[in-house]
Amino acid sequence: MSAICFYFQIHQPFRLRPYRFFDIGRNHDYYDETTNPAIIKKIAEKCYLPANEIIHNLICRHNGNFKVSFSISGSALDQFERYAPEILTSFQKLVDTGCVELLAETYAHSLASVASKKEFRRQVSQHVGKIYNIFGQHPKVFRNTELIYNDAVAHQVADMGFNGILTEGADSILAHKSPNYVYLAHTPSELKVLLKNYKLSDDIAFRFSDQSWNQWPLSADKYVHWLNRLPEQHHVINLFMDYETFGEHQWADSGIFNFLQELPEQILSSSGFSFVHPSEALNKFEPIDILSVPHTISWADEARDLSAWLGNSLQCDAFESLYKLKKKVRRCENPEILRDWQYLQASDHFYYMSTKDFADGQVHNYFNPYPSPYLAFINYMNVLSDFEVRLNKCLRTKARLIKHKQLIENLLRDEKRSLEASVKV
Protein backbone atom coordinates (compact mmCIF):
# COMPACT_ATOMS: atom_id res chain seq x y z
CA MET A 1 0.00 0.00 0.00
CA SER A 2 1.32 3.45 -0.92
CA ALA A 3 1.50 6.21 1.66
CA ILE A 4 1.21 9.97 1.97
CA CYS A 5 3.83 11.83 4.01
CA PHE A 6 2.83 15.38 4.96
CA TYR A 7 5.66 17.64 6.13
CA PHE A 8 5.22 21.32 7.04
CA GLN A 9 8.03 23.83 7.52
CA ILE A 10 7.63 26.56 10.14
CA HIS A 11 10.16 29.34 10.37
CA GLN A 12 10.14 32.99 11.34
CA PRO A 13 13.36 35.05 11.43
CA PHE A 14 14.12 37.85 13.85
CA ARG A 15 13.73 40.71 11.36
CA LEU A 16 16.19 43.58 11.69
CA ARG A 17 15.12 47.12 12.37
CA PRO A 18 16.34 49.97 10.15
CA TYR A 19 19.94 50.28 11.32
CA ARG A 20 21.91 53.34 10.22
CA PHE A 21 25.65 53.70 9.72
CA PHE A 22 25.71 56.17 12.63
CA ASP A 23 24.25 53.48 14.93
CA ILE A 24 27.42 51.41 14.62
CA GLY A 25 29.26 51.33 17.92
CA ARG A 26 26.46 53.18 19.68
CA ASN A 27 23.26 51.14 19.50
CA HIS A 28 23.25 47.36 19.81
CA ASP A 29 19.50 46.82 19.42
CA TYR A 30 19.20 45.04 16.08
CA TYR A 31 15.70 43.60 16.00
CA ASP A 32 12.42 45.20 15.00
CA GLU A 33 10.43 44.86 18.20
CA THR A 34 7.34 46.32 16.53
CA THR A 35 7.27 44.23 13.38
CA ASN A 36 8.38 40.88 14.80
CA PRO A 37 5.62 40.44 17.41
CA ALA A 38 3.03 41.87 15.01
CA ILE A 39 3.92 39.33 12.31
CA ILE A 40 3.93 36.41 14.75
CA LYS A 41 0.52 37.36 16.13
CA LYS A 42 -0.91 37.95 12.64
CA ILE A 43 0.25 34.57 11.32
CA ALA A 44 -0.91 32.87 14.52
CA GLU A 45 -4.41 34.21 13.91
CA LYS A 46 -4.43 33.52 10.17
CA CYS A 47 -2.55 30.21 10.06
CA TYR A 48 -1.03 28.49 13.07
CA LEU A 49 -3.99 28.43 15.45
CA PRO A 50 -6.81 27.65 12.97
CA ALA A 51 -4.70 25.11 11.04
CA ASN A 52 -3.62 23.40 14.26
CA GLU A 53 -7.23 23.15 15.38
CA ILE A 54 -8.26 21.59 12.07
CA ILE A 55 -5.40 19.07 12.16
CA HIS A 56 -6.14 18.17 15.78
CA ASN A 57 -9.79 17.55 14.90
CA LEU A 58 -8.77 15.45 11.89
CA ILE A 59 -6.47 13.30 14.02
CA CYS A 60 -9.22 12.71 16.56
CA ARG A 61 -11.89 12.10 13.90
CA HIS A 62 -9.80 9.51 12.09
CA ASN A 63 -8.60 7.73 15.23
CA GLY A 64 -4.94 8.47 14.63
CA ASN A 65 -4.92 7.44 10.96
CA PHE A 66 -4.15 10.98 9.87
CA LYS A 67 -0.53 11.93 10.56
CA VAL A 68 1.65 14.95 9.85
CA SER A 69 5.17 16.14 10.59
CA PHE A 70 6.63 19.55 11.33
CA SER A 71 10.03 21.19 11.42
CA ILE A 72 9.96 24.33 13.55
CA SER A 73 13.11 26.46 13.59
CA GLY A 74 14.62 27.54 16.90
CA SER A 75 14.18 31.22 16.06
CA ALA A 76 10.47 30.60 15.43
CA LEU A 77 10.16 28.79 18.76
CA ASP A 78 11.97 31.64 20.51
CA GLN A 79 9.48 34.13 19.10
CA PHE A 80 6.49 31.95 20.00
CA GLU A 81 7.76 31.85 23.58
CA ARG A 82 8.31 35.59 23.64
CA TYR A 83 5.33 36.95 21.73
CA ALA A 84 2.59 34.32 21.53
CA PRO A 85 2.93 31.36 23.93
CA GLU A 86 -0.54 30.17 22.91
CA ILE A 87 1.05 28.97 19.67
CA LEU A 88 3.38 26.65 21.59
CA THR A 89 0.46 25.37 23.66
CA SER A 90 -1.41 24.60 20.45
CA PHE A 91 1.52 22.67 18.98
CA GLN A 92 2.09 20.80 22.25
CA LYS A 93 -1.55 19.73 22.11
CA LEU A 94 -0.96 18.38 18.60
CA VAL A 95 2.21 16.53 19.56
CA ASP A 96 0.44 14.96 22.54
CA THR A 97 -1.88 13.11 20.14
CA GLY A 98 1.03 10.86 19.16
CA CYS A 99 0.28 11.51 15.48
CA VAL A 100 2.78 14.33 14.94
CA GLU A 101 6.48 13.83 14.30
CA LEU A 102 8.92 16.68 14.82
CA LEU A 103 12.05 16.92 12.70
CA ALA A 104 15.48 18.36 13.43
CA GLU A 105 17.05 21.27 11.57
CA THR A 106 19.46 24.15 12.07
CA TYR A 107 18.42 26.28 15.03
CA ALA A 108 18.45 29.57 13.14
CA HIS A 109 17.31 28.25 9.75
CA SER A 110 20.82 29.01 8.57
CA LEU A 111 23.17 28.13 5.72
CA ALA A 112 25.67 26.66 8.18
CA SER A 113 25.72 23.31 6.36
CA VAL A 114 27.59 24.93 3.46
CA ALA A 115 29.69 27.25 5.62
CA SER A 116 31.01 25.47 8.70
CA LYS A 117 30.81 21.85 9.82
CA LYS A 118 31.29 22.80 13.47
CA GLU A 119 28.64 25.51 13.40
CA PHE A 120 26.26 23.20 11.54
CA ARG A 121 26.63 20.47 14.15
CA ARG A 122 26.31 22.97 17.00
CA GLN A 123 23.08 24.44 15.67
CA VAL A 124 21.53 21.04 14.98
CA SER A 125 22.42 19.86 18.49
CA GLN A 126 20.91 23.00 19.98
CA HIS A 127 17.73 22.56 17.96
CA VAL A 128 17.35 18.92 19.01
CA GLY A 129 17.67 20.01 22.63
CA LYS A 130 15.07 22.74 22.18
CA ILE A 131 12.58 20.33 20.61
CA TYR A 132 13.07 17.84 23.43
CA ASN A 133 12.71 20.49 26.15
CA ILE A 134 9.46 21.88 24.74
CA PHE A 135 7.78 18.80 23.24
CA GLY A 136 9.50 15.77 24.77
CA GLN A 137 10.42 14.34 21.36
CA HIS A 138 13.91 13.44 20.19
CA PRO A 139 13.97 13.92 16.39
CA LYS A 140 15.13 10.94 14.34
CA VAL A 141 14.85 12.53 10.89
CA PHE A 142 16.57 15.67 9.65
CA ARG A 143 15.51 18.35 7.22
CA ASN A 144 18.04 21.00 6.36
CA THR A 145 17.25 24.69 5.85
CA GLU A 146 15.18 25.03 2.66
CA LEU A 147 15.85 21.32 1.99
CA ILE A 148 19.49 22.14 1.12
CA TYR A 149 21.25 18.89 0.31
CA ASN A 150 24.33 17.33 -1.24
CA ASP A 151 26.45 14.25 -0.56
CA ALA A 152 28.63 16.12 1.95
CA VAL A 153 25.58 17.32 3.92
CA ALA A 154 24.22 13.77 3.94
CA HIS A 155 27.53 12.53 5.36
CA GLN A 156 27.43 15.11 8.17
CA VAL A 157 23.81 14.31 8.99
CA ALA A 158 24.57 10.59 9.12
CA ASP A 159 27.48 11.27 11.48
CA MET A 160 25.05 13.07 13.79
CA GLY A 161 23.03 9.88 14.15
CA PHE A 162 19.89 10.61 12.15
CA ASN A 163 18.03 7.83 10.33
CA GLY A 164 16.97 9.89 7.36
CA ILE A 165 16.86 13.26 5.65
CA LEU A 166 14.34 15.17 3.55
CA THR A 167 15.19 17.03 0.37
CA GLU A 168 13.80 18.26 -2.93
CA GLY A 169 12.86 15.81 -5.67
CA ALA A 170 14.71 17.93 -8.20
CA ASP A 171 14.71 16.76 -11.80
CA SER A 172 18.44 17.46 -11.99
CA ILE A 173 19.21 14.63 -9.55
CA LEU A 174 16.43 12.21 -10.47
CA ALA A 175 16.71 12.21 -14.26
CA HIS A 176 13.98 9.70 -15.16
CA LYS A 177 13.53 8.33 -11.65
CA SER A 178 10.47 9.04 -9.51
CA PRO A 179 10.52 11.00 -6.22
CA ASN A 180 7.89 8.60 -4.87
CA TYR A 181 10.35 6.11 -3.42
CA VAL A 182 12.79 5.92 -0.52
CA TYR A 183 16.42 6.29 -1.59
CA LEU A 184 19.75 5.62 0.09
CA ALA A 185 22.16 8.53 0.50
CA HIS A 186 25.58 8.34 -1.13
CA THR A 187 27.44 7.95 2.19
CA PRO A 188 29.16 5.09 4.02
CA SER A 189 26.14 4.95 6.36
CA GLU A 190 22.57 3.71 5.94
CA LEU A 191 21.07 7.22 5.83
CA LYS A 192 17.81 7.19 3.87
CA VAL A 193 16.36 10.02 1.77
CA LEU A 194 12.78 11.19 1.25
CA LEU A 195 12.19 13.38 -1.79
CA LYS A 196 9.55 16.06 -2.15
CA ASN A 197 7.07 15.51 -4.95
CA TYR A 198 7.27 19.13 -6.01
CA LYS A 199 4.43 19.04 -8.54
CA LEU A 200 1.80 17.70 -6.17
CA SER A 201 3.15 19.80 -3.30
CA ASP A 202 3.21 23.03 -5.29
CA ASP A 203 -0.32 22.42 -6.58
CA ILE A 204 -1.38 23.16 -3.01
CA ALA A 205 1.34 25.54 -1.84
CA PHE A 206 1.57 27.84 -4.89
CA ARG A 207 -1.21 27.18 -7.41
CA PHE A 208 -4.23 26.60 -5.17
CA SER A 209 -5.69 30.13 -5.47
CA ASP A 210 -4.31 30.93 -8.93
CA GLN A 211 -7.40 31.46 -11.06
CA SER A 212 -5.30 31.44 -14.25
CA TRP A 213 -4.25 27.84 -13.51
CA ASN A 214 -6.01 25.42 -15.84
CA GLN A 215 -6.81 23.15 -12.87
CA TRP A 216 -8.41 25.87 -10.75
CA PRO A 217 -10.37 25.42 -8.55
CA LEU A 218 -8.64 22.53 -6.83
CA SER A 219 -10.92 20.27 -4.82
CA ALA A 220 -10.10 17.34 -2.56
CA ASP A 221 -11.91 15.01 -5.00
CA LYS A 222 -9.77 16.18 -7.91
CA TYR A 223 -6.55 15.91 -5.90
CA VAL A 224 -7.34 12.34 -4.79
CA HIS A 225 -8.13 11.49 -8.40
CA TRP A 226 -4.61 12.59 -9.31
CA LEU A 227 -3.18 10.46 -6.50
CA ASN A 228 -5.13 7.42 -7.66
CA ARG A 229 -3.65 7.76 -11.15
CA LEU A 230 -0.12 7.24 -9.81
CA PRO A 231 1.44 3.79 -10.36
CA GLU A 232 0.53 1.36 -7.60
CA GLN A 233 4.14 0.35 -7.07
CA HIS A 234 5.12 3.83 -5.89
CA HIS A 235 5.93 3.82 -2.18
CA VAL A 236 5.39 7.24 -0.66
CA ILE A 237 4.12 10.59 -1.94
CA ASN A 238 5.97 13.28 -0.03
CA LEU A 239 3.96 16.48 0.20
CA PHE A 240 6.32 19.08 1.66
CA MET A 241 5.36 22.75 2.03
CA ASP A 242 5.43 25.82 4.25
CA TYR A 243 2.78 25.60 6.97
CA GLU A 244 1.90 29.21 6.18
CA THR A 245 0.33 27.83 2.99
CA PHE A 246 -2.81 27.51 5.08
CA GLY A 247 -4.30 30.92 5.72
CA GLU A 248 -1.26 33.13 5.06
CA HIS A 249 0.05 32.37 1.56
CA GLN A 250 -3.32 30.98 0.52
CA TRP A 251 -5.93 33.06 2.29
CA ALA A 252 -8.91 31.57 4.08
CA ASP A 253 -11.36 32.92 1.47
CA SER A 254 -9.56 30.84 -1.19
CA GLY A 255 -11.07 27.73 0.42
CA ILE A 256 -7.70 26.37 1.57
CA PHE A 257 -8.98 25.43 5.04
CA ASN A 258 -11.94 23.55 3.55
CA PHE A 259 -9.47 21.71 1.35
CA LEU A 260 -7.34 20.82 4.38
CA GLN A 261 -10.41 19.51 6.20
CA GLU A 262 -11.69 17.44 3.29
CA LEU A 263 -8.48 15.97 1.87
CA PRO A 264 -7.71 13.37 4.60
CA GLU A 265 -11.29 12.10 4.50
CA GLN A 266 -11.16 11.72 0.73
CA ILE A 267 -7.77 9.99 0.83
CA LEU A 268 -8.75 7.53 3.56
CA SER A 269 -12.15 6.72 2.05
CA SER A 270 -11.50 6.89 -1.69
CA SER A 271 -7.94 5.66 -2.19
CA GLY A 272 -5.53 2.98 -1.10
CA PHE A 273 -3.21 5.49 0.56
CA SER A 274 -2.42 5.70 4.26
CA PHE A 275 -0.66 8.51 6.13
CA VAL A 276 2.81 8.03 7.57
CA HIS A 277 5.43 10.03 9.42
CA PRO A 278 8.85 10.41 7.77
CA SER A 279 10.40 7.91 10.20
CA GLU A 280 7.60 5.42 9.46
CA ALA A 281 8.14 5.78 5.71
CA LEU A 282 11.86 5.11 6.17
CA ASN A 283 11.15 1.97 8.20
CA LYS A 284 8.30 0.70 6.03
CA PHE A 285 9.84 0.98 2.58
CA GLU A 286 13.20 -0.33 1.39
CA PRO A 287 15.40 2.04 -0.63
CA ILE A 288 15.27 1.30 -4.34
CA ASP A 289 18.56 2.96 -5.29
CA ILE A 290 21.51 5.05 -4.11
CA LEU A 291 21.09 8.76 -4.73
CA SER A 292 24.28 10.69 -5.51
CA VAL A 293 24.03 14.49 -5.29
CA PRO A 294 27.49 16.02 -5.77
CA HIS A 295 26.09 19.50 -6.43
CA THR A 296 24.00 21.36 -3.86
CA ILE A 297 20.22 21.45 -4.33
CA SER A 298 17.35 23.10 -2.42
CA TRP A 299 13.62 23.62 -2.86
CA ALA A 300 13.94 27.34 -3.64
CA ASP A 301 13.26 29.05 -6.97
CA GLU A 302 13.23 27.41 -10.37
CA ALA A 303 16.97 26.65 -10.21
CA ARG A 304 16.55 24.67 -6.96
CA ASP A 305 20.10 25.45 -5.88
CA LEU A 306 21.77 28.00 -3.58
CA SER A 307 21.22 30.99 -5.86
CA ALA A 308 18.25 32.22 -3.80
CA TRP A 309 20.77 33.14 -1.07
CA LEU A 310 24.19 33.18 -2.74
CA GLY A 311 23.37 34.16 -6.31
CA ASN A 312 24.94 37.62 -6.49
CA SER A 313 27.94 39.55 -5.18
CA LEU A 314 25.92 41.28 -2.44
CA GLN A 315 24.83 37.98 -0.95
CA CYS A 316 28.26 36.39 -1.23
CA ASP A 317 29.96 39.39 0.36
CA ALA A 318 27.54 39.44 3.29
CA PHE A 319 27.80 35.66 3.70
CA GLU A 320 31.60 35.66 3.68
CA SER A 321 31.73 38.66 6.04
CA LEU A 322 29.52 36.83 8.51
CA TYR A 323 31.32 33.50 8.55
CA LYS A 324 34.81 34.95 8.66
CA LEU A 325 33.89 35.80 12.27
CA LYS A 326 33.16 32.20 13.29
CA LYS A 327 36.55 31.51 14.91
CA LYS A 328 36.30 34.65 17.01
CA VAL A 329 32.74 33.80 18.04
CA ARG A 330 33.84 30.36 19.26
CA ARG A 331 36.19 32.10 21.70
CA CYS A 332 33.47 34.41 22.98
CA GLU A 333 31.31 33.47 25.96
CA ASN A 334 28.99 36.48 26.01
CA PRO A 335 25.40 35.11 25.78
CA GLU A 336 24.04 38.18 23.97
CA ILE A 337 26.74 38.02 21.32
CA LEU A 338 26.18 34.29 20.88
CA ARG A 339 22.44 34.90 20.50
CA ASP A 340 22.98 37.60 17.89
CA TRP A 341 25.51 35.45 16.03
CA GLN A 342 22.83 32.82 15.73
CA TYR A 343 20.01 35.08 14.58
CA LEU A 344 22.26 36.88 12.07
CA GLN A 345 22.85 33.54 10.35
CA ALA A 346 19.18 33.17 9.32
CA SER A 347 19.04 32.48 5.60
CA ASP A 348 16.29 35.11 5.25
CA HIS A 349 18.80 37.96 5.53
CA PHE A 350 20.56 36.75 2.38
CA TYR A 351 17.28 35.94 0.66
CA TYR A 352 16.25 39.58 0.97
CA MET A 353 19.36 40.58 -1.05
CA SER A 354 18.35 38.58 -4.11
CA THR A 355 18.26 40.49 -7.41
CA LYS A 356 16.35 37.84 -9.37
CA ASP A 357 13.64 38.80 -11.86
CA PHE A 358 10.51 37.20 -13.30
CA ALA A 359 8.67 34.52 -11.30
CA ASP A 360 11.53 34.01 -8.81
CA GLY A 361 11.75 37.75 -8.25
CA GLN A 362 8.03 37.97 -7.49
CA VAL A 363 8.35 35.32 -4.79
CA HIS A 364 11.39 37.05 -3.27
CA ASN A 365 9.59 40.40 -3.26
CA TYR A 366 6.57 38.86 -1.53
CA PHE A 367 8.71 37.89 1.47
CA ASN A 368 11.01 40.93 1.42
CA PRO A 369 10.49 43.70 4.03
CA TYR A 370 13.00 45.95 2.23
CA PRO A 371 12.22 48.22 -0.76
CA SER A 372 15.28 46.86 -2.58
CA PRO A 373 17.98 44.18 -2.20
CA TYR A 374 20.59 46.91 -1.93
CA LEU A 375 18.93 48.40 1.14
CA ALA A 376 18.72 44.89 2.61
CA PHE A 377 22.46 44.50 2.08
CA ILE A 378 23.33 47.92 3.56
CA ASN A 379 21.15 47.38 6.61
CA TYR A 380 22.55 43.91 7.25
CA MET A 381 26.17 45.02 6.84
CA ASN A 382 25.63 47.94 9.23
CA VAL A 383 24.35 45.50 11.85
CA LEU A 384 27.19 43.08 11.15
CA SER A 385 29.74 45.88 11.51
CA ASP A 386 28.41 46.73 14.95
CA PHE A 387 28.35 43.04 15.85
CA GLU A 388 32.03 42.75 14.92
CA VAL A 389 32.88 45.81 17.06
CA ARG A 390 31.14 44.17 20.04
CA LEU A 391 32.79 40.84 19.33
CA ASN A 392 36.29 42.33 19.23
CA LYS A 393 35.61 44.27 22.42
CA CYS A 394 34.40 41.09 24.11
CA LEU A 395 37.55 39.23 23.10
CA ARG A 396 39.80 42.06 24.30
CA THR A 397 37.99 42.07 27.63
CA LYS A 398 38.32 38.31 27.84
CA ALA A 399 42.03 38.52 27.03
CA ARG A 400 42.52 41.11 29.78
CA LEU A 401 40.64 38.93 32.26
CA ILE A 402 42.72 35.90 31.32
CA LYS A 403 45.92 37.94 31.67
CA HIS A 404 44.73 39.32 35.01
CA LYS A 405 43.85 35.82 36.18
CA GLN A 406 47.26 34.50 35.15
CA LEU A 407 48.96 37.37 36.96
CA ILE A 408 47.07 36.61 40.18
CA GLU A 409 47.85 32.90 39.83
CA ASN A 410 51.55 33.69 39.37
CA LEU A 411 51.55 35.97 42.41
CA LEU A 412 49.83 33.33 44.52
CA ARG A 413 52.27 30.68 43.31
CA ASP A 414 55.26 32.90 44.10
CA GLU A 415 53.82 33.68 47.52
CA LYS A 416 53.27 29.97 48.19
CA ARG A 417 56.87 29.18 47.23
CA SER A 418 58.12 31.97 49.45
CA LEU A 419 56.16 30.64 52.41
CA GLU A 420 57.38 27.10 51.78
CA ALA A 421 60.98 28.37 51.64
CA SER A 422 60.60 30.27 54.92
CA VAL A 423 59.16 27.19 56.62
CA LYS A 424 62.16 25.12 55.51
CA VAL A 425 64.51 27.75 56.94
Active site residues per annotation: 146
- Taking the chain, what is the end-to-end CA distance rounded to the nearest angstrom? 90
**Cα(98)–Cα(399) distance, integer angstroms:** 50
121 backbone dihedrals φ, ψ, rounded to 5°: -65, -40
| Torsion angle, alpha carbons of 95, 98, 101, 107, to 10 | 30
DSSP state of 302: T
How many other CB atoms sit within 10 Å of the CB of residue 8? 22
Q: Which residues, including other chains, have CB under 8 Å from residue 167's CB and lie 6 or more apart?
A: 143, 144, 147, 148, 149, 193, 194, 195, 196, 293, 297, 299
Q: Which residues, including other chains, have CB under 8 Å from residue 120's CB and lie 6 or more apart?
A: 106, 112, 113, 156
**Cα(389)–Cα(379) distance, integer angstroms:** 16
166 backbone dihedrals φ, ψ, rounded to 5°: -100, 145
E strands present in 27-99: 68-72
* H/E stretch holding 272: none
E strands present in 123-230: 141-143, 164-168, 182-185, 192-196
| Torsion angle, alpha carbons of 137, 142, 144, 148, to 10 | -160
DSSP state of 159: H
Q: Which residues, including other chains, have CB under 8 Å from residue 364's CB and lie 6 or more apart?
A: 308, 351, 352, 354, 356
User: Which of 189, 123, 124, 116 is closest to 151 using CA atoms?
Assistant: 189
What DSSP string describes 317-336? HHHHHHHTTHHHHHH---HH
Q: Contact at 8 Å (CB) between 348 and 315?
A: no
